[in-house]
Chains A and B, each alone.
Chain A
Amino acid sequence: MSSAMYERMRANPKFRELVARRGRFAWTLAAIVLVMFYGFVLTVAFNPTSLGQPVSEGSMLTVGVAVELFMFIFFWVLTAVYVKRANGEFDALTQEIVKEAWKDNK
């Protein structure tokens, strides 16, 4: 029974739309995090002195600390952005898909 449900959901064009849209969104955000984080790790590995420079003349705030603090905040904002869109737009679409599969069942 549930296999038939899955079959109908898969056949629904909205399902393909959901998968494509959410997949694109999730992978884009993941790519941003991975590129920034491993870019940072590579900087630590190959050019550590650049991270110890002050952000401006006379400031005790170094580039490394500023960049990391930015990443802590920015990555968390990205999670908030994802949760907002996934719990709103994507979940609404998911519910439609399940509902339509039920309707066809009758």
Chain B
Amino acid sequence: MMRKILYALALASIPFATLAADAVAQTEIQATNWHAIIMFCIFVTMTMGITYWAASRTKSTADFYTAGGGITGFQNGLAIAGDYMSAATLLGLTAMVYTQGYDGYIYMLAFFAGWPIILFLMAERLRNLGKFTFSDITAYRLDQGKVRTMAAISSLTVVCFYLIAQMVGAGQLIKLLFGLEYNVAIFAVGILMMVYVTFGGMVATTWVQIIKACMLLAGGTLVMVLAFSQFGFSYQNLLEKATAVHKLGPKLMYPGSLLADPVTAISLGLGLMFGTAGLPHILMRFFTVTDAKEARKSVLYASGFVAYFFNVIFIMGLCGILIVGQNPDFFEAGKVGGKLIGGGNMVAMHLAKAVGGNMLLGFLAAVAFATILAVVSGLALAGASAISHDLYARVIKKGTASEAAEIRVSKIATICLGFVAIILGILFEKQNIAFMVGLAFGVAAAANFPVLILSMYWKGLTTRGALFGGYGGLVSAVVFVVLSKSVWVDVLGNKAALFPYTQPALFAMPIAFLLAYVFSKTDSSVRAGKEIEAFEDQYVRAQTGYGASGAASH
């Protein structure tokens, strides 16, 4: 039955996009981009084929959540890179280099620097202790019901904020790139995501991410090489010309306005670094590999790809200053220095068109769409597993749920999350959502990371401490963001922000750690004593991997 539906969907996906494109003929949206639509359809057909294949291999809960734990380090490294580098990375960071110069490069380093830390302090312990979700680790020796509920709530919070950011971004982007209407684009993303995840589970999601990562790396590299060749591959030459025309002039390569005050700079650094280490869809990827050895290799490959791609983007942004920024064709009304056609985020796309024509533009547009799909699928799977594995199987059914029932719940949860994503995407269309990704990272850094790292490293953590730390971090991160300029002033329309900084991590993280510490230390219950005792066995397993859930053989 499922296979039939899938087969039908795979066939239907080709005319779907084209029909939808025909139905749209409004102002603002760009002319229908046939190159992009054809290339995107090739991507969808390919990934649907993989989903069809994956559906036959997705039988147990382990298959569904973690692809049976049989992904290799190299595959997982590509998938992590695919999961981590969202459309915001490609478009937003290129645009940031284009307008702010060096500031964009600083952001990239902050996005990257979390990876070595994840490897040195977390990767092998995650693999050795976890099974399907990171709550498996925090709840390992603590109260299953309460701790898993807490972890599931903060996971879902992160997933929802991140989903809103991705969906709204997707709608706007697809409207521009493909000439599709906003709502059509939102439905397309939501429905494709539901198909990948419900039928193919982690196997399909992983392959969507791998294919997308390869497309992104290849497309980005090609644009960079073509653009950079116009300057004879000379950084000196490129920069001399760029600083001569950019409105920042020689200040282009100075740290600028974005990180003007020290508190923001440090808070941002903390949030990006430790937020990465608390994102549920990234943490989940560590359970898909065979053992700790492969988990380490995943980080090696992933961080290599991420570091490489950030440097490609840096060069792309700098080339854009000259190739896009000096060409009247890319500005509204042909006025150089005015508003870019399609908005500031379109620099990478215009650059692709300038150096490679419509073909390359189409390819990069398809890559951007694929990127959104891959990230959204990873998020949906992480959210669904928090609902089905943590809340349903462990909290409500207390471990007595059958595998079939658990998978059914996770599929229902995926479909619900898909509709939630579509509805939120439509509701937030006109909203300023710039703070959403920051909020997701802030909550991940303040609610997920502290409890997770303490549960792995600190013997003294008790259920009471974990609950206060987790909820405290969640509430304070959300409250700080709501009271900051980006929500209190920009969204709610108040005059002045009650909290002077836009980045919550520097304040919310210490609150979480402090609460976890104080409420664990003062917990003198009998259960707390047992939990502390249980750390010894957990510690040996974390170090040696003995007893870790193994890979299923296919």
Contacts and interface: CB of A to CB of B under 8 A. Distances in A.
Contacts of A61: 235-236, 239
B541 interface: yes
Contacts of A27: 120-121
B293 A41 contact: no
A46 B109 CA distance: 18
A6 B533 CA distance: 13
Given A15-B543, A68-B106, A94-B545, A33 B117 contact: yes
A87 B543 CA distance: 13
Interface string A34-66: 100110111011101101100000011110110
Nearest to A18: B543
B299 interface: yes
Contacts of B250: 52
Contacts of B109: 37, 40, 68, 71-72
Interface in B215-253: 235-236, 238-240, 243, 250-251, 253
B414 interface: no
Given A37-B109, A52-B102, A82-B119, A76 B253 contact: no
A92 B265 CA distance: 42
A52 B254 contact: yes
Interface in B486-524: none
Contacts of B124: 86
Contact of A68 (B105, B236, B300): B105
A6 B536 contact: yes
Contacts, number: 155
B303 to A, nearest CB: 6
B145 interface: no
A87 B297 contact: yes
Contacts of A46: 262
Interface string B272-304: 010000000000000000001100110110011
Question: Which bracket fits the contact residues of B?
Answer: 35 or more
Interface string A63-106: 01100110111011011101100110001001001100100000
Contact of A41 (B102, B265, B297, B545): B265
A37 B297 CA distance: 23
Contacts of B266: 38, 41-42, 45
Contact of B121 (A18, A26, A65): A26
Nearest to B537: A6
Nearest to A54: B253
A3 to B, nearest CB: 6
SS class of chain B's interface: helix, strand, loop or mixed? helix
Contacts of A60: 235-236, 238-240, 243, 253
B299 A79 contact: yes
A86 B255 contact: no
Contacts of B238: 60
Contacts of A51: 102, 254-255
What is the interface of chain A mostly: helix, strand, loop, or mixed? helix
A45 B259 CA distance: 7
B541 to A, nearest CB: 7
A42 B267 CA distance: 11
A2 B236 contact: no
Interface centre among A2, A60, A68, A69 (most CB of B within 10 A): A60
Nearest to A101: B546
Given A44-B265, A45-B266, A62-B102, A30 B121 contact: yes
Among the interface residues A44, A52, A59, A80, which one has the most CB atoms of the partner chain B within 10 A? A44
B84 interface: no
Which of A59, A71, A82, A101 has the most B CB atoms < 10 Å from its CB?
A: A82
Contact of A64 (B253, B265, B269, B300): B253
Contacts of B402: none
A94 B119 contact: no
Contacts of B261: 45
B120 A75 contact: no
Contact of A76 (B273, B292, B303): B303
A54 B124 CA distance: 41
A60 B318 CA distance: 13
B116 A78 contact: yes
Most buried by B among A51, A64, A76: A76
Interface of B: 102, 105-106, 109-110, 112-113, 115-117, 119-121, 124, 235-236, 238-240, 243, 250-251, 253-256, 259, 261-262, 265-266, 269, 273, 292-293, 296-297, 299-300, 303-304, 307, 310-311, 536-537, 540-541, 543-547
11 contacts: A6-B537, A6-B541, A9-B540, A22-B543, A42-B262, A52-B250, A52-B254, A65-B105, A68-B105, A83-B119, A87-B296
Given A48-B256, A64-B254, A72-B311, 20 more contacts: A6-B536, A18-B543, A27-B120, A30-B121, A41-B265, A44-B259, A45-B265, A46-B262, A51-B255, A64-B255, A68-B105, A68-B109, A75-B112, A75-B116, A76-B303, A79-B115, A79-B299, A82-B116, A83-B119, A94-B543
9 interchain residue pairs of minimum CB distance: A45-B262, A52-B254, A60-B239, A48-B255, A45-B265, A6-B540, A26-B120, A30-B120, A41-B269
Interface of A: 2-3, 5-6, 9-10, 15, 18-19, 22, 26-27, 29-30, 33-34, 37-38, 40-42, 44-46, 48-49, 51-52, 59-62, 64-65, 68-69, 71-73, 75-76, 78-80, 82-83, 86-87, 91, 94, 97-98, 101
